[in-house]
Amino acid sequence: MSDFSGKQVVVTGGTGALGSAVVGALIKGGAGCTVPYVHEAEAARFPFRNNGKAKLIKVSDLSEEAHVAMVYQAAAPWASIHIAGGFAMGEVAKTDKAALMAQLDNNLISCFLCCRAAVNAMRASGGGRIVNVAARPGLEWRAGAGMAAYTVAKAGVAALTVALAEEVAKDGILVNAVAPSIMDTAANRTAMPKADFDAWPKVEEVAATILFLASPDNKVTRGAVVPVYGKS
């Protein structure tokens, strides 16, 4: 377990399955977490809502600059972990501009704006760590057939990660990403009841990779988009 004692970490998407695993591990490691959320139901089911180490912040849309600014005004982060996003199936022929823009806003634009806010905060404090969450189709484009808008958005997250890592290494900010395959969550089991659940990576396992990349123990790794596929 990495030592995050005295460090503040922003975790977007922190109320979801993967996000809750990340926040739980960060708290165990001594971190204080700032967790933005959109829907009240997210906050209600968040397992750490009554933990003093986790601060929930209500926002409307992380693809809007003003709402991102609210999150980072409330934190001086050592690390910023960007899990927030959204998924939708859809063939290109059946995906209109609104659906495309929704995937870009939820996955790429929100990540870009949070990266920008994190970089500005970390430059002021002398460095830090950024970890984004891409996805397997964002690296293996043929796997994105039938979900092209999502694939394009997550491929953008991967490209953003590598380009930004080059920009800010000199500032002591190390930027990386993970690219999960389908993870073993209750929602995914319900959606795919005949799948081989044992092959899917567990959220705690993906969280462990994220935590290393976000930790002070990571002294040299930057510009990586790490596949976290398990046996799938």
Identify the pLDDT of residue 231.
85
**Count of domains in the chain?**
1
Q: Which two tokens stand for residue 3?
A: 């030592």
In this prediction the pTM is 0.95
Q: Which two tokens stand for residue 114?
A: 């949070």
pLDDT single digits (tens) 140-166: 999 999 999 999 999 999 999 999 999
* Cα 83 from Cα 12, distance rounded (Å): 5
Residue 118, judged by CB atoms within 10 A of its CB (0-12, 13-18, 19+), counts as: buried
Q: Tell me whether residue 96 is in a domain.
A: yes
* Bigger pLDDT: 153 vs 231: 153
Average pLDDT score over the chain: 95
CA–chain centroid gap for 39, Å, is: 17
Q: Report the relative pairing of strands 225-228 and 128-133 from DSSP bridges.
A: unpaired
Residue 59: how many other CB atoms lie within 10 Å? 17
Q: Tell me whether residue 120 is in a domain.
A: yes
Q: Tell me whether residue 3 is in a domain.
A: no
Compute the CA torsion angle 69, 122, 212, 156 (nearest 10 deg): 60
In CATH, what number is assigned to the domain containing residue 148?
Answer: 3.40.50.720
Average pLDDT value for residue range 203-231:
96
Q: Which two tokens stand for residue 61?
A: 């849309």
Q: Tell me whether residue 2 is in a domain.
A: no
For the chain, report the end-to-end CA distance as a whole number of angstroms: 26
Q: Tell me whether residue 16 is in a domain.
A: yes
For 199, the domain range is 8-228
Q: Report the relative pairing of strands 79-82 and 54-58 from DSSP bridges.
A: unpaired
Question: 167 CB contacts (<8 Å, ≥6 apart)?
Answer: none
* Cα 25 from Cα 28, distance rounded (Å): 5
The answer to whether residue 18 scores a pLDDT higher than 80 is: yes
Residue type for position 138: G
* Cα 78 from Cα 127, distance rounded (Å): 7
* Cα 227 from Cα 225, distance rounded (Å): 7
Q: Tell me whether residue 195 is in a domain.
A: yes
- pLDDT band per the 50, 70, 90 thresholds, residue 5: very high
Task: Indicate the DSSP class of residue 34.
Answer: E
